A and B are shown apart, each in its own frame.
Chain A
Amino acid sequence: MKRSFLVGGMGLFLSLSLLAPRRINAYEPATTQAGLLQQGALGSRLHQVLINAFGRSLGLFEPLVLDKKNASTDALLLWQRLILLDPAQGYRPGSRGDQSALGWLSAGAVLAETPAEEGRHHYFLPTTGRGLDDRKGVSGAAQALSGAIDSGEGRTGVRSLGTGMAFDQTGMPSTAWLFSGQNDLSVTRFVYWVSKSATLATPAQRDSALARALLCAGATAAVLIDAGEPAHVRNDFRAAHESNALNYERYVAERHGREGLPASLKPVSRPSLLAFITAPDGEGLADRTHRRFFSEGSVPADVPLSPAQSTIEILERAGEGLAFPLPNLPRLSIANDNRVKYLKMEGRRALAYKRLPNRLHFFLDEAVFKDTAKAVLPEIEAYVAGMLNHLIRVQLQLTISNGQVSVGAKGLTGPISGGQLELVWEDENGQRHAMGEAIAVADSDAVAAVHVAVPAAASRVVAVLRGQDHAGPIAAVGQASTEKM
């Protein structure tokens, strides 16, 4: 009897220990992710494109309503996730389903990790090309337990664990997640909804479609933002008890929140969508973050010290304790002066270390967090701005002459795979109608060769180009009025 009490009590203690507040090293979706995206969006061309190509006069501040009355099942499921968001941050839609374009974009960045388990697909390890794999980790056990005991609508639970739906501490690489059929906010869905935002019949339908396209763009940007988070590119799924010392991500959330993040640098330009995350030139954001920053779970292992050891031997042992070749430890000051010292890279403090009586201890402290944030946050925003520009890089120019419309495409790189050009015309009531079947196009010359008669009742003609070129998926829109002064 006594023994069974002890065993049961120990089990309960262990379980409660796992349940104590723990947080893996990840940017806080509600504040940091949304704020980085907002700064990136403000630094991008999206505002101008929404005005000029999409005819949304307020650009990023244009109100768009997600039509709930006529919504499909997937839209209703999406709505159930949207109402979980924090109204104080400005991106939760109103009860009518209304929100600004920037709000929809920001909401997408948060929905990308709502439910939280979706965040498992935001990892990418540049050295292997793989995603998260922490099946043996202690933090994984806590996560599994959390999933098992939580209950409620739309959540993982005992049943979902039994049916294999719950989180098994692995995830697909973020580069694959961007295009995955399991991802309802993927790049593929972005292209689809951009197309629908132009071709659907009624203004309300087109509003809803544009809102959903922006959600997808925001979620895509969230994946990129996590490529600028050291733990996400160093397979570091370590969860820290929140009562423990401050970690980098918590420092960023508390110091900057959503509203206090630095302004974006000049948008980064990359040759393809995936190259924003990783590329052979090593200039993807994941590549750069991986080789330049330590995460808390990938700092060098402590080096035991003995009186006979030389400085060179200590450095060699420290190097052997690195989880990855970079960043490395080119030099350390091993003087026994009981002071915290810093490994400096690019003029910033990248790693803290201290000589203790019997070991050399490596760690990250607030000084490292501060310098890391100062270096990487504006860079993330510049990559986000660049990725948003990249998603809308192709421009369509429509010319109406002699009752016919022709289309010019700018910004294409090479042939178009699976290219389709759709034309619709708009009547005086704002209803849009197809101008025949979608036309297969293989390159910009094929686009330019299209000439279609414009109906007499048309007040506007709109074109949509979908497909893929060397730079990635294409979602381009253009339009022209049939009259102008």
Chain B
Amino acid sequence: MAFIGFAAACGPIVDPAPFAVRPGRARAGDLLGPFDGLIIDGETDRPIAEATVEANWAFERGIGLIGPDGANSLSMVTTEDGFYRFPALKELPAGVSSRVRRFTLIVYKRGFEIWRSDRVFPSGETRRNFTQHANRIRLRRWQSGTSHARHVVFMGGGEAVRKAAEWETQAAGIELGGDRDPWAAVGDFGGPGKRPLFDASIVLTDSELRQVTGFAGKLVRKRLADLPRTEFYDTVHFRAESDGERDDVAVRVWRLGEAAAADQYQELVTALGTAEVRDEVGDNSVRVSTTDIRALVFILRDVGVVVSVTCGKGQCAEIEPLVRLAKLIEGRAAELESAPVGEKK
């Protein structure tokens, strides 16, 4: 027992740091810190403000079989000078076989690629230029065509980084779902949690619809049930009591941001297969016609919105009313971009 007391008093092991103490120095740094550095734009060399910086220490335990044993995380947001500073780790893990195993610094700023102190995006290669002090982080601008899914998976990070990058998970989810059928009837297995939901109810009113199509029958305004409403997707369904789907009109709206909207639009066009490219509404658009229904899908690239309008041939015997409805919605681009979120589900 005396030995146990002695051993316990020794404190945790701190693994050797895989980074240097300062740029140009061979001496290894200290995993415990403190850490400081500067974050700059890789193109302009100017300091970057409002970048989220997260410092993470990971602890492990065990001799032979090794497993996680806790962590400590600090975060900050840079000001105009682009500097970050984190104090040395004070709260060390208890237990004789406990050790401080890793330190990872993560920097996230929307519009730039993620920066991690251990790996380089997108190659995944080991980073060699991280230093404990006077570290200089050159953030690379986001490259068109970079995979959001790959970026989000690479990123990792705790609460601060995840919150800053929350918007990107939407783009990642859509990007990865390349082979899903957007028209397939899918269900809701509990909904999207407690995030604020996108409200697209402003796209079209009953009276506007009647003015365009001349429909005089009774309409019930609802939401479609084919895909669950989310913080980036909403629908409006004008359900006619008269003749089933032939008199129905439905609008589906995705508010995704520029890159993800482009992906979603392409995905829809691909899924539609026989779509006729007309580019008559928004930045690009396609038409589709089936036995009972006409559809028009368009994208507003600047505001990152994709809209699909379907109209039963009872109301849209010709294509013109559908095009007019779509243009009416296009005129609401600014409102859609800043559309309110609805109640939390």
Contact = CB atoms under 8 A, between A and B. Distances in A.
A460 B190 CA distance: 11
Contact of B227 (A29, A57, A87): A57
Nearest to A202: B190
Contact of B71 (A84, A90, A116, A479): A84
A48 B94 contact: no
Interface stretch (B80-88, B131-139, B179-187, B201-209): B179-187
Interface string B93-121: 01111110110101000000000101101
A65 B162 CA distance: 14
B7 interface: yes
Interface stretch (A16-24, A182-190, A346-354): A16-24
Contacts of B102: 30, 86, 88
A313 to B, nearest CB: 38
B65 A113 contact: yes
Interface string B1-24: 001101110000101000000000
B71 A62 contact: no
B225 A88 contact: no
B95 A430 contact: no
A63 B8 contact: no
Interface in B49-90: 54, 56, 58-71, 73
Given A48-B179, A210-B190, A63 B195 contact: yes
B248 to A, nearest CB: 5
Given A57-B230, A64-B193, A152-B95, A86 B173 contact: no
Contact of A203 (B65, B99, B191): B191
A42 B176 contact: yes
Contact of B96 (A19, A59, A119, A485): A19
A263 to B, nearest CB: 9
B200 interface: no
Contacts of A393: none
A114 B66 CA distance: 9
A145 B63 contact: yes
B189 A197 contact: yes
A52 B186 contact: yes
Interface stretch (A252-260, A279-287, A365-373, A467-475): A252-260
B152 interface: yes
Given A206-B189, A254-B126, A113 B67 contact: yes
A239 B64 CA distance: 5
Interface of A is mostly: mixed
B296 to A, nearest CB: 15
Interface stretch (B153-161, B268-276, B316-324, B329-337): B153-161
Contact of B156 (A84, A89, A261): A89
B44 interface: no
B63 A87 contact: no
Name the residue in B3, B173, B179, B189 with the highest tally of chain A Cβ atoms < 10 Å from its Cβ.
B189
Contacts of B70: 83-84
A295 B173 CA distance: 39
B177 A485 contact: no
B152 to A, nearest CB: 7
B64 A24 contact: yes
B92 interface: no
Contact of B58 (A42, A60, A86): A86
A480 B226 CA distance: 9
B173 A258 contact: no
A480 B63 contact: no
Contacts of A257: 118-119, 124, 126
A194 to B, nearest CB: 10
Given A120-B65, A257-B126, A484-B225, A47 B177 contact: yes
A124 interface: no
Name the residue in B66, B172, B250 with the highest tally of chain A Cβ atoms < 10 Å from its Cβ.
B66
A56 B230 CA distance: 9
A88 B106 contact: yes
Interface string A274-295: 0000000000000000000000
A446 interface: no
B91 interface: no
B157 A88 contact: yes
B4 A146 contact: no
B156 A90 contact: yes
B194 interface: yes
Contacts of B66: 23-24, 26, 28, 116
Given A86-B56, A88-B158, A155-B95, A52 B195 contact: no
B224 interface: yes
A401 to B, nearest CB: 14
Contact of B192 (A23, A57, A426): A57
Contacts of A63: 169, 192-193, 195
Interface in B214-261: 224-228, 230, 233, 237, 239, 245, 248, 250
A55 B65 contact: no
Contacts of B155: 90
A15 interface: yes
Contacts of B101: 30
Interface stretch (A92-100, A324-332, A377-385, A404-412): A92-100
A54 B59 CA distance: 36
A139 interface: yes
Interface string A142-178: 1101101111100100100000000100000000000
Contacts of A151: 8, 94-95
Contacts of B173: 47, 57-62
B189 A58 contact: no
A464 B195 CA distance: 27
A42 B234 CA distance: 27
A117 interface: yes
B186 A150 contact: no
Nearest to B174: A58
A198 interface: yes
Contacts of A71: none
Contact of A21 (B59, B99, B125): B99
A133 to B, nearest CB: 15
Nearest to B6: A12
Contacts of A15: 3, 7
Q: What 8 pairs across the A-B complex have the smallest Cβ distances?
A: A260-B124, A116-B67, A87-B158, A58-B173, A90-B156, A479-B187, A206-B190, A88-B104
Given A57-B173, A88-B56, A158-B4, 12 more contacts: A30-B102, A53-B187, A58-B174, A59-B177, A61-B169, A61-B172, A62-B173, A197-B190, A259-B156, A478-B187, A479-B186, A485-B237
Interface of A: 11-12, 15-16, 18-19, 21-24, 26, 28-30, 38, 42, 47-48, 51-65, 83-92, 94-95, 98, 100, 102, 110, 113-120, 139-140, 142-143, 145-146, 148-152, 155, 158, 167, 197-198, 203-204, 206-207, 210, 237, 239, 254-261, 426, 430, 459-460, 462, 477-485
29 contacts: A22-B63, A24-B64, A38-B153, A51-B177, A54-B190, A55-B187, A57-B227, A57-B230, A58-B173, A63-B169, A63-B195, A84-B59, A85-B68, A87-B54, A87-B156, A88-B118, A115-B67, A120-B65, A146-B62, A203-B345, A256-B124, A257-B118, A260-B124, A260-B125, A261-B124, A426-B188, A430-B190, A479-B186, A485-B245
